Structure 1
Amino acid sequence: MPATEKAAGALRTIGELAAEIGRPQHILRYWETRFPQLKPLTRAGNRRYYRPDDVALVRRIHHLLSEEGYTIRGVQKLLAEEKAARGRSKAAELQAIRDSLSDALEEDR
């Protein structure tokens, strides 16, 4: 592995991530204000470290904005809709588990 390449799960600095996607660092800081899902770790001196999930989100935001033609507002709406859909999916999954357990209890009686 070359010295400049990090492991897949390693934290990325804002400079590394900005260079990777070809955007200036201030754009990433701006995205943090527009996308509440994007929360890098901050250390002394406000140094930002992006976890693998943050890196994936930044790549996705960049792709949607630069290649898919979305606006900031459009990406915000898309991410919010996906979050709501995941919430509904989890609720349905929990309901199915509850129903299954309820059926099992009924069978035991």
Structure 2
Amino acid sequence: MAKDAEAFRTIGELSDELGVAQHILRYWETRFPQLQPLKRAGNRRYYRPDDVALVKRIDRLLNEDGFTIKGVQKVLAGKVEEPESSAARADAIPANIALKLKAIRNGLADALGE
């Protein structure tokens, strides 16, 4: 049974959802002051929906868009413009180029398979 979208997430749940280790999430808290999960007794972290959205944004910027920690800090501070999403960039590739790239990929796969 899945949690409601508005429910708080524990660090373990968020880690599993994103495929990011828990120690990485704790490290991001030290680097991004905007990320402030609720802490209860024993320093148990509970991520609100806004925190989850921010963690997903940080993860995308670091792992998909290739930003460094400092680069993401600048994006979150508004000093650097955030790039359009990876999906939007993929849609921006003209169809004929995409077909040529797929043909090259398939040719390489065939060559490596032989």
TM-score between both structures, scaled by the size of structure 1: 0.71
**Following TM superposition, where does structure 1 have runs of at least 4 consecutive aligned residues deviating by more than 3 angstroms?**
none
Instruction: Report the CA distance between 1:24 and its aligned residue.
Output: 0.6
- Percent identity between the two aligned chains: 72
Q: What is the number of equivalent residue pairs in this alignment?
A: 79
- Distance in 2 (CA, whole Å) between partners of 1:23 and 1:58 is 10
Please tell me whether residue 21 in structure 1 is matched to residue 18 in structure 2: yes
Number of the residue aligned with 1:53: 50
> Are 2:33 and 1:36 aligned?
yes
1:66 aligns with 2:52: no
Please tell me whether Structure 1 or Structure 2 has the larger radius of gyration of its CA atoms. Answer: 1
- Measured after TM superposition, the shift of residue 56 of structure 1 is 0.0
- The Cα RMSD (Å) is 0.8
Write the deviation string for residues 49-70 of structure 1: whole angstroms up to 9, x where unpaired: 0000000000000000000000
How big is the shift at 1:81? 1.1
Partner amino acid, structure 2, of 1:32: E
Structure 2, unpaired ranges of 5+: 80-114
> Is 1:6 the counterpart of 2:24 in the alignment?
no
